[in-house]
Structure 1
Amino acid sequence: MSMVGNPVQVGRRPLDVDLIDRARAGDDHAFASLLGPIVASGYRLAGAMLHDRYAAEDVVQEASLKAWRSLRQLRAGAEMRPWFLGIVANECRSVRRTRWWSVLKFPDVESPAMPPDDPHTTFAELRRGIRRLRHRRRLMLVLHWYLDLPMAEIAVITRSSEDAVKSEVSRAMRQLRGLIGVEDA
């Protein structure tokens, strides 16, 4: 594949600008080539934010449709992954804001008592703690620790500076430690 004009990035891979142009012109195969390598990250983000597999699938489907419709907003030289994950994050926020989501609450199913050093107990506590964080802090932790994205990419996704991202991740970690009863190191 030859490079034409300015490369557009998918994650960290340069893409042929012609592929973007073809997708913008309505070529669904070109769009699938753009979205294919990053859609799994979208599912992981939505799943971690919503804790509901079916809601996550709906969010990624809606985000994919919105990405298709707003492909013209992707700037030349921009990276596809942060742009798409930003759409996914906004969709997660929209879902969590809907009335049915806040009214419909399922109780956490408690597992039988386990020894305190059991990793499953720690995971369950961690998951409950993450659920209690505000959306933005949960998003920062999921992007940084679960998707293992660099601070610079998180800054693009959240439309923040890198310093703001570092600060918010630090605050979120401090709050999470307090929620799960872990003392600061």
Structure 2
Amino acid sequence: MHDLFKRAKKGDEAAFVSLLEQYQDKIYRIAYTYFRNEQDALDILQEVSFKAYKNIKKIRKPEALSAWLTTVTANHCKNVLRKKSRETMLTNTEGTLSVTQDHDMPLILREVISYLSISEQTVILLTYFEGFTLGEIAQQTNTPIGTVKTRLNRALTKLRKQMRKEGIK
């Protein structure tokens, strides 16, 4: 992977494609978690792949690529959801958008998670949706494990508080 990463950073397109193939399933799973729709997840995969191609030179270490892709994917998904939400609100004839009518838990979860900071969202996503250990997250994000634990604890506290506020048990 180190060799592919170095070659991709130097502009070798074949190396970039080979490198990205290792992460396509992960990017797709994250996007699918947000949208629960195959086409939207595939669109996000394509858009994140393009962002990765344009920005690979900014990533210093190959170990950081996985966390970087996770963060970029999550942020891109949130941006797309915000845009879709605004469009839905603009076209909704009643002027309000009911999120909880059909008890769509993934949508509710996305909404509650959106109250967290980016670093807290990343820790939640990597821990509970991607199955990483705190040590792996610390290594991938180049962050002390104590900081990762603190972010996770703060995120869980904020999630519990927000869920109570939203009436979710």
TM-score in terms of structure 2 length? 0.69
Counterparts of 1:19-58 in structure 2 under 5 Å? Answer: 19-58=4-43
Counterparts of 1:19-168 in structure 2 under 5 Å? Answer: 19-76=4-61, 78-98=63-83, 100-104=84-88, 110=102, 126-135=105-114, 137=116, 140-152=123-135, 154=137, 161-168=147-154
Query: How far 1:38 moved relative to its partner?
Result: 1.5
Against the structure 1 CA distance between its residues 32 and 149, is the aligned structure 2 distance closer, same or farther, given a 3 Å change threshold?
Answer: same
Query: How far 1:96 moved relative to its partner?
Result: 2.3
**Is the Cα contact below 8 Å between 2:27 and 2:70 reproduced in 1?**
yes
Query: How far 1:133 moved relative to its partner?
Result: 0.9
Query: How far 1:140 moved relative to its partner?
Result: 4.7
Instruction: Say if 2:149 is the partner of 1:170.
Output: no
Against the structure 1 CA distance between its residues 176 and 48, is the aligned structure 2 distance closer, same or farther, given a 3 Å change threshold?
Answer: farther
Tell me the residue number matched to 1:118. Answer: none
**Is the Cα contact below 8 Å between 1:63 and 1:88 reproduced in 2?**
yes
**Which secondary structure does the structure 2 equivalent of 1:104 belong to?**
helix
Q: Whose helix proportion is higher, 1 or 2?
A: 2
Query: How far 1:31 moved relative to its partner?
Result: 0.9
Query: How far 1:126 moved relative to its partner?
Result: 4.0
**Is the Cα contact below 8 Å between 1:19 and 1:30 reproduced in 2?**
yes
Against the structure 1 CA distance between its residues 148 and 96, is the aligned structure 2 distance closer, same or farther, given a 3 Å change threshold?
Answer: same
Can you list the C-alpha shifts for 1:54-110, whole angstroms capped at 9, x where unaligned? 222212211110111111111135332111112112211221232x43332797785
Name the amino acid aligned to 1:127. P
TM-score in terms of structure 1 length? 0.64
Q: Distance in 2 between matches of 1:76 and 1:142?
A: 21
**Which secondary structure does the structure 2 equivalent of 1:29 belong to?**
helix
**Is the Cα contact below 8 Å between 1:63 and 1:87 reproduced in 2?**
yes
Aligned length: 152
Quote the RMSD (CA, aligned, Å). 3.2
Instruction: Flag structure 2 segments of 5+ consecutive residues without an equivalent.
Output: 90-96
Query: How far 1:149 moved relative to its partner?
Result: 2.0
Query: How far 1:131 moved relative to its partner?
Result: 3.6
Tell me the residue number matched to 2:92. Answer: none
**Which secondary structure does the structure 1 equivalent of 2:4 belong to?**
helix
Tell me the residue number matched to 1:10. Answer: none
